[in-house]
């Protein structure tokens, strides 16, 4: 008995100390306030990944350290990222819903040499702010260019643009205009609305008075999408014959159902729809519902969480007890996989995502409002980087 205990102790001592230690992923995003669902969707996406593939790779369990910015709140995001690397000693930073929060945390990733896996923040510039950033979401130019191409090909000749007045909105406005005008269309007016508490009605009225063929919209998903649709409906733009085209942030699956009738027929371009028809997506949606009882359905931030976690798991599988920032980013920037959204890969030169962008129309199936994909642009790189 004694000898047995003795040799067990020796055996245990021989196991490298890190073998039993979890891999820590610090998740920085809003989990409270107006954008609470940004964080909740990403977390549910990550947990859906665990549900389907387990949470332990190379003997190491992946542990999420959830940190709420209550944002958009760049200063808080930076402080939380700092605490995660210095005090909690995380192996990865992840999450990041709002561009200003990702930009604020970027220098922390660089200094600590920690991979920072972006699951939403979608301004083109984000990945250029640190060599440790890799993005598994989208960029606004990447989804806006296909919308412009589609509009020009489908009888829309002049467009008024409305975007939120911060980096991703400006990215969307500029790319839409560049692509649409290169294809022969004309942007006849542009407005930018405030990031905090916008009152859309006066802007929407101005657009109605200008009588464009269509209005192109980017607002951050969630609360603002709902508020914009309400103003669009109340001011009677549909009846005035003004078509609504947008990035899929407007027809966000997280809030689509609550928009009701007025959203029917809205055309949008995006990288993910909960209604995407593939075996991978069906499995994902099912796992999502099993882990996220209080969310209506996965949105694009959930799929960003799922794919970002798939990439982190791949690093853990390959590096095991030897996770180091430089080795990790080397693996991350070569990721290629079949996502619930379709095929994706990371462009090693920019660490940004290359993916299919879908054109979708909101349709009602039974009592469900869904983004139904009907056209697609494969292998789209971020045009903002040319």
Least separation in angstroms between CB 187 and ligand PHB: 21
Q: CB atoms < 10 A from the CB of 236, how many?
A: 12
Element containing residue 167 per DSSP (H, E): helix 167-182
Decide whether 122 or 331 has the Cβ nearer to ligand PHB.
Answer: 122
Instruction: Evaluate whether 103 touches 122 at the Cβ level (below 8 Å).
Output: no
Least separation in angstroms between CB 323 and ligand PHB: 27
For 250, 275, 284, 364, the CA distances from 368, given in Å and listed in that order, are: 17, 10, 18, 5
Phi-psi region of 7 (alpha: psi -120 to 50; beta: other; left: phi over 0): alpha
Task: Select from 213, 249, 206, 209 the least CA-distant residue to 229.
Answer: 249
Decide whether 132 or 272 has the Cβ nearer to ligand PHB.
Answer: 272
Round to whole Å and give the CA distance between 63 and 18. 14
Residues that bind ligand PHB (CB under 6 A): 97-99, 120-123, 168, 220-221, 249
How far is C-alpha 202 from the chain's CA centre?
Answer: 29
Residues 6+ away with beta carbon under 8 Å from 295: 37, 40, 41, 44, 254, 288, 302
Instruction: Evaluate whether 222 touches 258 at the Cβ level (below 8 Å).
Output: no
Decide whether 168 or 185 has the Cβ nearer to ligand PHB.
Answer: 168
Least separation in angstroms between CB 247 and ligand PHB: 8
Decide whether 120 or 269 has the Cβ nearer to ligand PHB.
Answer: 120
Decide whether 38 or 203 has the Cβ nearer to ligand PHB.
Answer: 38
Specify the length of the chain in residues: 386
Phi, psi of 118 (to 5 degrees): -85, 125
Decide whether 249 or 373 has the Cβ nearer to ligand PHB.
Answer: 249
Least separation in angstroms between CB 122 and ligand PHB: 4
Least separation in angstroms between CB 155 and ligand PHB: 28
Least separation in angstroms between CB 95 and ligand PHB: 12
Tally: H helices and E strands in the chain: 12, 15
Least separation in angstroms between CB 353 and ligand PHB: 14
Decide whether 253 or 335 has the Cβ nearer to ligand PHB.
Answer: 253
Element containing residue 304 per DSSP (H, E): helix 300-319
Least separation in angstroms between CB 29 and ligand PHB: 11
Task: Select from 67, 77, 128, 129 the least CA-distant residue to 98.
Answer: 77
Round to whole Å and give the CA distance between 247 and 181. 18
């Amino acid at each position: 008995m004694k000898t047995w205990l003795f040799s067990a102790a020796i055996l245990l001592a021989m196991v490298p100390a890190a073998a039993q230690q979890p891999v820590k992923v610090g998740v920085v995003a809003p989990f409270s306030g107006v954008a609470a669902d940004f964080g909740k969707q990403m977390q549910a996406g990550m947990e859906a990944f665990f549900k389907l593939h387990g949470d332990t790779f190379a003997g190491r369990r992946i542990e999420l350290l959830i940190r709420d910015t209550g944002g958009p709140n760049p200063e808080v995001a930076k402080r939380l990222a700092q605490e995660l690397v210095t005090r909690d000693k995380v192996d990865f930073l992840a999450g990041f819903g709002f561009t200003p929060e990702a930009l604020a945390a970027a220098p922390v990733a660089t200094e600590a040499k920690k991979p920072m896996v972006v699951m939403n923040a979608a301004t083109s510039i984000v990945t250029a702010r640190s060599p440790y950033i890799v993005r598994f979401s989208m960029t606004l130019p990447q989804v806006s260019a296909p919308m412009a191409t589609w509009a020009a090909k489908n009888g829309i000749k002049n467009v008024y643009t409305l975007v939120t007045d911060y980096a991703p909105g400006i990215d969307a406005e500029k790319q839409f205009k560049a692509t649409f005008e290169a294809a022969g269309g004309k942007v006849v007016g542009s407005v930018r609305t405030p990031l905090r508490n916008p009152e859309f009605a006066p802007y929407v009225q101005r657009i109605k008075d200008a009588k464009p063929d269509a209005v192109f919209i980017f607002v951050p998903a969630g609360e603002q999408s709902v508020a914009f649709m309400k103003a669009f409906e109340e001011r009677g733009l549909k009846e005035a014959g003004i078509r609504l085209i947008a990035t899929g942030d407007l027809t966000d699956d997280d809030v689509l159902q609550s928009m009701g009738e007025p959203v029917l027929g809205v055309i949008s371009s995006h990288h993910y729809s909960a209604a995407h028809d593939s075996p991978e997506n069906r499995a994902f949606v099912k796992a999502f519902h099993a882990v996220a009882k209080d969310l209506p359905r996965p949105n694009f931030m959930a799929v960003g969480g799922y794919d970002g976690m798939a990439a982190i798991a791949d690093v853990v599988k390959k590096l095991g007890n030897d996770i180091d920032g430089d080795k990790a980013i080397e693996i991350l920037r070569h990721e290629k996989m079949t996502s619930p959204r379709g095929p994706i890969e990371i462009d090693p030169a920019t660490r940004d995502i290359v993916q299919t962008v879908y054109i979708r129309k909101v349709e009602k199936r039974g009592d469900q409002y869904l983004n139904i994909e009907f056209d697609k642009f494969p292998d789209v790189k971020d045009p903002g980087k040319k």
